[in-house]
Amino acid sequence: MKKEIIDMLLNTDQIRIRQSDTERIKSMIKFAEMNVKIAKSIPLNEDSATLIFREIYESLRQLGDSKWWASGYEPRNHEVSMEILKEMDIKEKVLLNHLTRFKRIRNDANYRGFRISVAQAKDIIDFWNRCSGDILKEILK
């Protein structure tokens, strides 16, 4: 992420400087992977789609948190956690553009009471399956 953006995020208290904490990073990654494994083990249907989507979204956010911690910063909100993922140089980088849509879907479910469809849950599962490995490699560099 560009220095000007990091400076702006620091000045607006959206991130703060922290010492990189390898154990915290490993723990967050392990929890995110476990959470997705459990979410994906639930049969996907109209009743479970919202739960599955939100849990996988939360795991993606945790990967963003991990990337910030690996960079020496602590994120102070979900937006910056998702934004840092968009900056990653992964094989299927174009798919990172879906993160904004995922955030909007999750917010609609959490704050407006919308149900997430089976198709939307499939989208985030597919995103995880295709991108999480490369994201993890980038974080652990």
Q: Which phi-psi region, left, alpha or beta, contains residue 32 (left: φ > 0; alpha: ψ -120 to 50)? A: alpha
**pLDDT score, position 141:** 84
Give strand ranges (E) for 9-138: 15-17, 73-75
Provide CB contacts within 8 A for 84, sequence distance 6+. 1, 64, 67, 68, 71, 75
**Count of other CB atoms within 10 angstroms of residue 92:** 10
pTM of the predicted model as reported, rounded to 2 decimal places = 0.94
Task: Tell me the per-residue pLDDT of 108-140, one tens digit each, with 9 for 90 and over.
Answer: 999 999 999 999 999 999 999 999 999 999 998
Per-residue pLDDT band for 20 (boundaries 50, 70, 90) equals confident
Tokens of 135: 């994201």
Task: Name the percent of the chain lying above pLDDT 90.
Answer: 95
| Pairwise CA distance, residues 57 & 127, whole Å | 10
